Structure 1
Amino acid sequence: MAVLVSALAFLMTLAGGLAAMRVRDKRHLVLGLAGGLMLGVVAFDLIPESLQMTGDRPLGVPAPMIGFAVGFLLLHVVEQSVAIHRAHEGEYAPHVHAHGHVHAGDGGPGGAGLLAAFALVGHSLVDGLSIGLGFQSGDRVGAFVALAVVTHDFADGFNTFTAASLGGRDRRPALALLLADAVAPIVGAALTLLGTVPEGVLGPYLGLFAGVLLYLSAAEILPEAHSGHPRVMTLGATGLGLLVVLFSVGLAG
């Protein structure tokens, strides 16, 4: 049952990614919406869920919040490493094409965005595990967990494609990660047929993932969304993203 239900998450994730692809001509609104969705997932879903999963408090601090700080710092370090790499690349002479345009080299998708997309895939794997573990606790619990997962997987697919597309024109990595994100819940649900996963492990992981998403939203996506575009519409898109997650979590609860 858990594997069959997770197929709905597969479809919702793909729908979210396809929606992100279809509105690429409104990039600032897409990024504003994605930023709001990510903030909403962090505040209304990941952090509350991670704190419920474990009561461990190393040094008096909840373990998921330590993971949150580590995730935020991890992505900051990755972003700075990518920035340093690009700075060194800029030391090399640019090449000039016959049409007169100067290029310093075409980059692929940004390292920070790809890392966040991989984290989203990991989160979707945890979603599948949650569905499977929920059904292990009973059909009613499993159904509520599945509803919660399916309702926010549209946002997961949207965010995965958007994050993986940051800084690059090649869509292939983003499409591959979108497909991986869609398949991950099915894999996670199938894994629960083999055994159980301690919630004490999942809690800190979700906290770490929340830190990664918050950094990507605040330092990468939202600044890019407001760069050279009408701020009122972009802010409206961000607020809409927050409300969508708030009501999704509320309805699923």
Structure 2
Amino acid sequence: MPVVVALGAFLMTLFGGWVAGRVVDRRHLVLGLAGGLMLGVIGLDLLPEALEAAGEEVFGVPAALLLFVAGFLAAHAVERMLALRRAAHGASPDERTPQVGLTAAAAMIGHSAMDGIAIGLAFQVGGGMAVAVAVAVIAHDFADGFNTYTITSLYGNTRRRALLMLGAAALAPVAGAASTLLFTLPEQLLGIYLGFFAGVLLYLATSDILPEAHHEHPARSTLLCTLLGAAFIWLVIGVAE
């Protein structure tokens, strides 16, 4: 079942790359909705489940919350390292380095694989968690596909290379979900992982998805889509319970 759900992420990633090749004006609404879905999953489902599963405290702080902060900082550190590398390799649009685009795209592929693992591990927790995480991951993978294609081509790579990286990013969540069929995490470790994953998702939502959604179109409709995304997750959780 996790692999079947991950196929939704596969299709959404390809769809995001397809849109990137055409750059439609309503992209901000889709990203706004994706940001709302991610925030809803983080605050209403992932963190409560992580706190319950992880259990123990470390120096007075729940282990899940420590990993939540660690996940946020890890995602921030990776993005900063990529930004420094981009700056070191080309300061102007005329001096773009294809390898930088490929490196950034490879990082997106690794993240997509973790998305698939998150879906698989969520199924180990229960159906409600699986549905909520799957919705967030599938919505987020639109942005993954869009960004993978864009950043690969932005740095001077050919369209063929951009499509190859897009294809790898689309297959990554399926492979990640399939890998979880081979192992089962203890409840405590699962809670710790979910806390870490929630931190990563929060960073992506607040530093990438939502700022991009509001950058060129700071419209009320974009904010409304974000609110609807969070409300939808609330509805999903309520129905699942």
Distance in 1 between the 2:203 and 2:40 partners?
Answer: 13
Distance in 2 between the 1:44 and 1:109 partners?
Answer: 35
* Structure having the larger proportion of residues in helix: 2
2:214 equivalent to 1:221: no
2:191 equivalent to 1:198: no
Indicate how the Cα distance of structure 1 residues 248 and 43 shifts in structure 2: closer, same or farther if over 3 A, else same. same
Q: What 5-or-longer segments of structure 2 have no aligned partner?
A: 154-161
Out of 164, 167, 178, the position equivalent to 1:172 is: 164
Q: CA deviation at 1:87?
A: 2.0
Out of 105, 108, 112, the position equivalent to 2:101 is: 108
After superposition, where does 1:214-253 map in structure 2 within 5 Å?
A: 214-253=202-241
Q: CA deviation at 1:225?
A: 1.2
Q: CA deviation at 1:150?
A: 3.9
CA contact (8 A) 1:10 1:185 kept: yes
CA contact (8 A) 2:17 2:145 kept: no
CA contact (8 A) 1:40 1:243 kept: yes
TM-score by length of 2: 0.78
CA contact (8 A) 1:56 1:62 kept: yes
Identity %: 36
Q: CA deviation at 1:63?
A: 0.5
Identify the residue that residue 99 of structure 1 maps to in structure 2: none
Out of 120, 137, 153, the position equivalent to 1:156 is: 137
CA contact (8 A) 1:164 1:173 kept: no
Q: For 1:94-134, what per-residue CA distance to the aligned partner results, in whole angstroms no more than 9, with x for missing partners?
A: 6xxxxxxx6231552784x8656634533532432453x46
Distance in 1 between the 2:187 and 2:53 partners?
Answer: 5
2:72 equivalent to 1:72: yes
Instruction: Give the aligned residue type for 2:190.
Output: L
Instruction: Give the aligned residue type for 1:200.
Output: Q
Identify the residue that residue 82 of structure 1 maps to in structure 2: 82
Q: For 1:69-88, what per-residue CA distance to the aligned partner results, in whole angstroms no more than 9, with x for missing partners?
A: 11111121222222222222
Q: CA deviation at 1:8?
A: 3.8
Moved over 6 A (4+): none
TM-score by length of 1: 0.75
Q: For 1:163-189, what per-residue CA distance to the aligned partner results, in whole angstroms no more than 9, with x for missing partners?
A: 35325142433432332213433431x
Q: Is the deviation greater in 53-62 or in 221-230?
A: 221-230
Indicate how the Cα distance of structure 1 residues 33 and 116 shifts in structure 2: closer, same or farther if over 3 A, else same. farther
Q: Is the deviation greater in 43-52 or in 118-127?
A: 118-127
Structure of larger gyration radius: 1
2:106 equivalent to 1:125: no
2:9 equivalent to 1:6: no
Q: CA deviation at 1:90?
A: 3.2
Distance in 1 between the 2:53 and 2:127 partners?
Answer: 17
Indicate how the Cα distance of structure 1 residues 174 and 244 shifts in structure 2: closer, same or farther if over 3 A, else same. farther
Instruction: Give the aligned residue type for 1:90.
Output: G
Q: CA deviation at 1:53?
A: 0.8
2:61 equivalent to 1:61: yes
Q: Secondary structure at the match of 1:226?
A: helix
